[in-house]
Amino acid sequence: MPKFLLKRWYGLHMVLALSFCLLLLAILTLFHWMYGAIGIVCLIGLILFALQAEKGFQQDLRLYLATISHRVKKAGDGVIQEMPIGIVLFNEEKTIEWTNPLMQVIADEESLIGKNLADVLPGLVLKPDQKRIEFSFNDHVYEVLVRSEERLLYFRDISEQKELQGRYQREKTVLGIIHLDNLDELAQVMDDQSRTLLSTSVSGVINEWATKHGVYLRRVTADKFLAMMDRQTLDKLEETRFDILDVVREMTADNKIPITLSIGIGAGVTSHMELGQIAQSSLDIALGRGGDQAAVKSGNKITFYGGKSNAVEKRTRVRARVIAHALRDLIHEAEQVIVMGHKQSDMDSIGASLGVLKTVQVHNKPAYVVLDEINPSIERLMKEINGSPELAESFITPEQALRLITGRTLLVVVDTHRPSLVIEPRLLYETSRIVVIDHHRRSEEFIEDPVLIYLEPYASSTAELVTELLQYQSDRINIDSLIATALLAGIVVDTKSFAFRTGSRTFEAASFLRRNGADTATVQRYLKEDLSNFVKRARIVMNTEIYHTNMAIAVGNPQESYTQVQVAQAAEVLLTLSGIQAAFVVAKRSDDTVMISARSLGDINVQSIMEQLGGGGHLTGAATQIEGISLNEAVRRLKEVIDAL
């Protein structure tokens, strides 16, 4: 109620009470004047007592209010002086005008008034519209609350909280799965006793390594161990770059088939079930990349260590037969099949696509091959295909494929597993039936949820894998001479005429193709080049720098554009130079994208180098493409990655 209304209400009641008393006195006086006189005396005394009591109440009230104000002010001053928060008041020039005592303790100075913030608290940077800052000073961490309008800073010590957070992160559970590669292959080249002794010695080394680093290790199968550790231990293992990989490889290097390790690590989550799934997924990736490496996955980030040796060729055809039968069933269930390779198709991609096309035709299903453009590396082969009306009709453009594809279409992706490299990425989202056939080491980027994966890094080429699948499609299969020749050409190109990444099954696949009409002379004709390409490649080789004594880096002319084939061939020529273990060629494509093609003899893992530049490939052959940079910048980045090895 407003004060003036309260006074009016109080005065009205007093008037009514006084009027009532006077009325009673008048009535008493009518009965007897003495009663009236006594009543008047009593009324006057009552009025005087009330006035005195009111005066005393007002005095007590004023005294009480004054006491409360003093106590509140004193309490406020005490809070500001003694609260566990440092307070700084400064002016526009960042000069300190006032602080509470705790701030003097924080700054370790007796008086801060008149000093500049930058001098007292070096490293404290105040940015416009910034409300909170985390500030480290004198071995403490403070949360600084900024009130820009009042030019006030509040410092709260959160050192203990940060220590607890760090401890929580360091003690997070990490799960790992350690896999002994090649254990099954040892059974074919060693007797049981020798194999058992070798396996026992390798297990002893692994257990010794685990004990040294505080890793709990439990053998779950003959070729697998379950490892449990905390995040702090994982960080230390990453610092050593999982040196156990090198130890095991070197101790078994004298064997015909050395034992290597593949390690999958899951970290970054609290659920043990999810950790196990991540660890298994990481192990699958490590194995998909050829083994002899560790894959550490924390959240969405995956890091690879090792990968210094080539994948050992599998000696059994069981997996090829199982995949072939699974592919046959998928073809029967589909209404049509579309085959797609990678951008800038090469001989391996086209040869593998034709092999899958023939596989589908064996089962009397319609099939098509997606091709965006014809580049010089496949020009001669495509002329032969265009001369065959039946084969030419099977090639369609990406736009035609988008119109044809349905939910029941089987999409077969060959010679790549990365969505960003396929000819038409939109096709991947138009069907849920996707098959991946590839021989490249698995990268972090992978086609999502394929129904069938045939990823074998040990294989020389995708054409070799498709040739093996063809052999299991029918007891008697007739392959067109042109398709057989294209498949053989894919193998020849990727093996550099059977010089690199060539195993016994590579020759078996080539022999099968030769029996089915593959013409080696025609293969050589497909691979011939004209004089202008030869001269252009020679100019790249002329501009070569020897780096770190055993690496060659060549740079193309900034004013010219090159094809991927020209750049790759130049890298292969450099690799033939004496003393060169790895070769890198940097050049521009016609769309100004910078290409880097890398080749090695096996001692240097060019795949890991190219992956750090956004590419991928094999241990001995890899590449990347970088947009929006100059050749000099690309060379600088390449050297930085090499220096960090």
pLDDT in tens, 148-163: 888 889 999 999 999 9
> To which residue do tokens 């994208």 refer?
593
Mean pLDDT for 51-55 is 77
Average pLDDT over the chain, rounded to an integer = 86
CA–CA distances in Å: residue 225 to residues 56, 215, 405, 476: 90, 11, 44, 44
User: Residue 184 annotated as binding?
Assistant: no
Q: What pLDDT does residue 17 have?
A: 72
Give Cα separations from 483 to 337, 407, 423 (angstroms): 18, 29, 21
Q: What is the pLDDT of residue 441?
A: 79
Structure confidence by residue, pLDDT tens digits, 228-238: 999 999 999 99
pLDDT of residue 534: 87
Residue 561 scores a pLDDT above 60? yes
The count of other CB atoms within 10 Å of the CB of residue 286 is: 30
392 or 80, which is more confident: 392
Q: Does the structure show a pLDDT above 90 at 264?
A: yes
CA angle 330, 334, 336 (to 5 degrees): 125
> Roughly how many angstroms between the first and final C-alpha of the chain, as a whole number?
81
Residue 592's identity, in one-letter code, is D
CA dihedral sign of residues 496, 498, 504, 509 = positive
pLDDT of 199 reads: 85
- Average pLDDT of 54-75? 64
Q: What CA–CA distance (Å, rounded) separates 122 from 145?
A: 17
List the strands of the sheet with 544-547, edge to edge.
Answer: 544-547, 551-555, 582-588, 594-600, 621-626, 616-617
Question: What is the reported pLDDT for 262?
Answer: 92
Output the six-digit token pair for 69. 């104000």
CATH architecture of 319-526: Alpha-Beta Complex (3.90)
Helix (H) or strand (E) holding 565, with range, is helix 564-575
Tell me the percentage of the chain whose pLDDT exceeds 70.
Answer: 92
Cβ pair 294, 313 in contact under 8 A: no
* % of the chain exceeding 90 in pLDDT: 45
* Mean local confidence (pLDDT), 481-505: 89
pLDDT band for 75, please (50, 70, 90 cuts).
Answer: very low
pLDDT attached to residue 258: 78
Q: Is 235 annotated as a binding residue?
A: no
Question: Which residues are CB-neighbours of 636 under 8 A, at least 6 positions away?
Answer: none
Classify domain 86-162 by CATH number: 3.30.450.20
**531-643 has which CATH code?**
3.10.310.30
CATH 3.30.70.270 fits 171-306, yes or no: yes
Does the annotation list 591 as a binding residue?
A: no
pLDDT reported for residue 312: 53
157 labeled binding residue? no
What confidence score (pLDDT) does residue 183 get?
78
pLDDT higher than 90, residue 130: no
The pLDDT, as a whole number, for residue 67 is 63
> 87 Cβ partners below 8 Å, 6+ apart?
80, 99, 100, 102, 103, 152, 153, 154, 155
Instruction: Output the pLDDT for position 362.
Output: 92
pLDDT number for residue 78: 55
pLDDT of residue 315: 43
User: Does position 224 have pLDDT exceeding 70, yes or no?
Assistant: yes
- Whether residue 108 is annotated as binding a ligand: the answer is no
**pLDDT tens-place string over residues 281-319:** 899 888 877 788 899 999 878 888 887 665 555 545 777
pLDDT at 187: 66
> For the chain, which residues make up each domain, given as ranges?
13-81, 86-162, 171-306, 319-526, 531-643
pLDDT at 118 exceeding the cut of 50? yes
Residue 313, pLDDT score: 53
Cα(30)–Cα(19) distance, integer angstroms? 17
Residue of 254 and 167 predicted with greater confidence? 167
User: For residue 63, what pLDDT is reported?
Assistant: 72
Determine contact, residues 394/369, Cβ cutoff 8 Å: yes
pLDDT of residue 311: 54
342 labelled ligand-binding: yes
Give yes or no for residue 77 having a pLDDT over 60. Answer: no
What pLDDT is recorded for position 6? 45
Q: Above 70 in pLDDT, residue 66?
A: no
Looking at residues 16-45, what average pLDDT do you find? 76
Q: At 461, is the pLDDT very low, low, confident or very high (cuts 50, 70, 90)?
A: very high
Which of 64-73, 358-367, 418-427, 501-510 bottoms out in mean pLDDT, i.e. has the lowest?
A: 64-73
Q: Give mean pLDDT, residues 559-583.
A: 90
Helix, strand, coil fractions of the chain, as percent rounded to 5: 50, 20, 30
pLDDT in tens, 574-594: 998 999 999 999 999 888 899
Q: Is the pLDDT of residue 204 over 70?
A: yes
